Amino acid sequence: MNEIIFLIEEAAEGGYTARALGASIFTEADNVGELHNQLRDAVQCHFDEEMQPKMIRLHFVHEEVIAV
């Protein structure tokens, strides 16, 4: 596997949540730097060494609401 993609969203209580697309991996963190570390750890724990993706791609989703 060359890469794994995570959907990153801001958590309602603060911080971020990350959910992998195509794998059962979920993690959360208080800030982006901590999220990077959590994602590396989660990917290493989920995959055997020879199956680990070479790249972790993050897709940040930002929801914004405006009044009409």
pLDDT value at position 1?
73
The secondary structure of 22-47, three-state, reads CCCCEEEECCHHHHHHHHHHHHHHHC
Q: What is the pLDDT of residues 19-52, one digit of tens each?
A: 999 999 999 999 999 999 999 999 999 999 899 9
The yes/no answer on whether domain 3-61 falls in CATH 3.40.30 is no
Mean pLDDT in residue range 6-29? 96
* Amino acid residing at 38: Q
Report the predicted TM-score, pTM, of the whole model to 2 decimal places. Answer: 0.88
Residue 64 has pLDDT above 90, yes or no: no
What's the CA gap between 64 and 68, in Å, rounded? 13
